[in-house]
Chain A
């Protein structure tokens, strides 16, 4: 297994910065295009990245999205400092949300973010400590290793 890193970049995400909400996901998408990744892989990861970015903006103070490409997979870590999630099982249920009116007015906050990330990726892990923050790890397998293409 070749785990050498072909590309890595980290993007900063600021809580409550709705006017830039989606900028990191769009920037990562442009990089993936330049790297020549498969369009279906790019779309799946971009959807996950956008939902994860909006989660940081909606629920955390500060966060970062670390994007890594190897020959095997594209891996993303989104870690934030913020309120965290007390009940992850509940947060993973489609439709469960603690969103405010502003979040909903932006087209998010309907309790679909985490399920969408899980649905779009080949693996998804979440760790959270209430009052400290949340870390998501997810990714998509590439080439022959890819399940859904």
Chain B
């Protein structure tokens, strides 16, 4: 039986694939993820994502971290080289949410992750 949540990758593999800088959560790179949800509109994430996904976003405000927390998302990958301010990273550290940033654009980021087997985390 194939895994129900798609082919898992570790955050470390995602970091290497997308040439990410790890902003926080260096000790959580062994965490496995099988699904992604990509959006800049946090209301879309809250309405349509499934728990356990990685959030791909260009929104680097504190709201992205709180969104990941309340929606049970495992980690955030910021695209376009976006990097949250230090107080935002502090909240992510407290909440145990790893933050990564890649210079790649949203479309490339999603395409690469999709082609490596990660699945969409959208509700039916």
Contacts and interface: CB of A to CB of B under 8 A. Distances in A.
A95 B102 CA distance: 31
Interface in A7-51: 18-23, 25-26, 29, 39, 43, 46-47, 49-51
A51 B46 contact: yes
Contact of A49 (B47, B61, B70): B70
A22 B66 contact: yes
B22 interface: no
A106 B59 CA distance: 7
Q: How large is the interface on B (under 10, 10 to 19, 20 to 34, 35 or more residues)?
A: 20 to 34
A50 B70 contact: yes
Contacts of B63: 18, 21-22, 54, 106-108
B13 interface: no
B69 A26 contact: yes
A25 to B, nearest CB: 5
Contacts of B95: 26
Contact of B70 (A18, A20, A26, A110): A26
Contacts of B71: 43, 46-47
Contact of A51 (B41, B43, B91): B43
Contact of B42 (A18, A19, A107): A107
A62 interface: no
Interface string A105-135: 1111010110110011000000000000000
A116 B66 CA distance: 16
B51 interface: yes
B9 interface: no
